[in-house]
Amino acid sequence: MSLTPDRTLDWNELWREAAARRWPDLRERAKYWDKRAPSFARRGPSLYARTFVGLMAPQPHWSVLDVGCGTGTLAIPLAPLVARVTAMDFSRAMIERLLRDCREAGIQNVRALHAGWEDDWDAAGIGVHDVAIASRSLVVEDLEAAIRKLDRAARRRVCIVAPAGDGPLDRRTVEAVGRPFRRNPDYIYVYNLLHQMGIHADVTMIKVEDERAFGSQEEALAFYRMLLEDLDGAEEARLRTYLSEQLVGQDGKWRLPGADVGRWALIQWEKEEVRPDARG
């Protein structure tokens, strides 16, 4: 299958349209992640994080910028492997959780900043790093502007991770509550826009089966209630029925079989001295 992009399309505008459908309340997203921060319990690196770090092959002398770091999915496992990490997120609660986890783990080379894509990165003191990462965090209106910011913040390499297909969303659960499934704009928008910008990136697929397990059916209900956002009474009743029928108990934990398979595209490129913009 050819990955040659269609140059007759404006991939940044297509992204804008898809983002508006998927995230109509984009400027309110920080509040959503603030609410979710307490649910991120510190544990060992996930399969996703281990796979990403293995593909990234970090070097001890590197400085790394992690944009949209959350509670440290990548920042914490990267910290012992590199010189320093700047971790930034637009959710203050996520940053507070990251700092607490770093203190508890004795990690001292992570600098955490409360900032987002739309902020002035120079004013925030973000600076330039060897590698800039945006892992599953490209929730933006203007994709090209975000890419250019990320590219300027890296002296060696840029790594973006975007969903492939449905990504982390479980189509069955969304449809079970009676909602239409709206897929996030996926990696092909990013790849094609990069090509139009004159950036020839490598793409590696990451397939992970999340280690999501719940101590009780009520805990599972609380998680999916938060994930789906703003359920009304009828939707919550349908969710409760669906989970009671589908959850499987094993070894004292409850799991939703097949719901946690995620496909992600790691898109990365090495920096060059001069890169002309292919679109002029």
Q: Give the mean model confidence (pLDDT) for residues 226-241.
A: 87
**Range(s) within the chain of domains with CATH label 3.40.50.150:** 11-170+181-211+261-270
d(CA 215, CA 223): 11
Which of the four pLDDT bands, split at 50, 70 and 90, describes residue 170?
Answer: confident
Q: Write down the residue that tokens 């300027």 correspond to.
A: 152
What's this model's pTM, rounded to 2 decimal places? 0.82
Under DSSP, is residue 134 helix (H, G, I), strand (E, B) or coil? strand
**CATH 3.40.50.150 is held by the domain 11-170+181-211+261-270:** yes
Q: Inform me whether the pLDDT recorded for 279 exceeds 60.
A: no
Rg (CA), the chain: 19
85-136 pLDDT tens trace: 999 999 999 999 999 999 999 999 999 999 999 999 999 999 999 999 999 9
Residue 118's nearest CA partner among 154, 146, 152, 155 is: 146
3-state percent helix, strand, coil for the chain, nearest multiple of 5: 40, 20, 40
d(CA 76, CA 29): 23
d(CA 141, CA 18): 9
Residues in the chain: 280
Q: Give the mean model confidence (pLDDT) for residues 25-49.
A: 69
Q: Kindly write down the DSSP assignment for every residue of 61-129, as one continuous string.
A: T-EEEEET-TTTTTHHHHGGGSSEEEEEES-HHHHHHHHHHHHHHT--SEEEEE--TTS-TTTTT---E
The whole-number pLDDT of residue 274 equals 38
